[in-house]
Amino acid sequence: MVNPGYKYFKGEDWVDPTPPPAHLTHVDEVGSSGAPLKSASFFIGTQCKEYNEDFMLCKNENRNPEHCLLEGRKVTRCAIDALQKIQSKCQSEFRAHWECLDRKNQELGRCREHEKGLNDCLFTAFAWKKNVPDAPTNKPQIHERTPLTS
Amino acid sequence: MPVPFESLIPFAIISGMFLVTGTGIRYAQTTRNEGKRARYSLDDWDRKMMQRDTQLTGTMRGQVDEPVASPEFKVNSSWKVYDSLRNDFA
């Protein structure tokens, strides 16, 4: 969908029709906005760990955008793949979770019930487990903590 | 003699004024944010993500969850219009 634009600057007038340069490989962009991405972030992180680390190491060498186009394409495609898998099996829980996040300033700690629903659905569908990297192992992870008084 | 009701009228007026300002602020923020509460404690990541949302959907609080973006996402520029005049990153 074209960006709607403003009343006197219709969105369709602001699309650049020139084709991109031929030497750049085409890649589809991720189409999710902030809240769905945040909701799916830990799952994209576990699925795409190698590609993300490759990209970050490549950027560490050289900040020039042209240097890391290949790794960037792999990151984008992996993220699109992860999102498509989530949408195929657990769409209603995913939507409930990111709509809750959208209302609560995108803070994960305020939407734990919806997150639990999403985690359970994804675990039964794909055996994906949400894991916070570099969390201390002697305690339960923050999204699995039970309240002291209940 | 019990407390006369006339002396409590100023308290009622003050409480009413609190209600009016609270409702007015909530109405203004809700209208600007399409029915959602205003976002607060925004850091650079959040502001850049909201700018990306503007590129995708046209408004800063609009959300979509398609895996693949429409082809116009890469080449549209209407979100840059009046960028210098906009000052709506709270």
What ipTM did this prediction achieve? 0.82
Per-10-residue mean pLDDT of chain A, 150 residues long, equals: 62 77 87 90 93 94 90 93 92 93 91 92 92 88 80
List CB contacts (< 8 A) between A2 and chain B. Answer: 70, 72, 76
Nearest-Cα distance to chain A for B47, in Å, is 10
Interface test with A, best of B37, B43, B66 (most A CBs within 10 A): B66
Give the residue from A33, A104, A105 with the most B CB atoms within 10 Å of its CB, the best one to mutate.
A33
Long-range Cβ pairs for the range A114-119 (8 Å, 24+): A115/A39, A115/A143, A116/A143, A117/A93, A118/A39, A118/A90, A118/A93, A118/A94, A119/A143
Give the span between the Cα atoms of B56 and A33, in whole angstroms.
7
pTM: 0.80
For chain B, 90 residues long, give each residue's pLDDT as a single digit of tens: 888 989 999 999 999 999 999 999 999 888 888 888 888 899 999 988 988 888 888 778 888 888 888 888 888 776 666 555 554 554
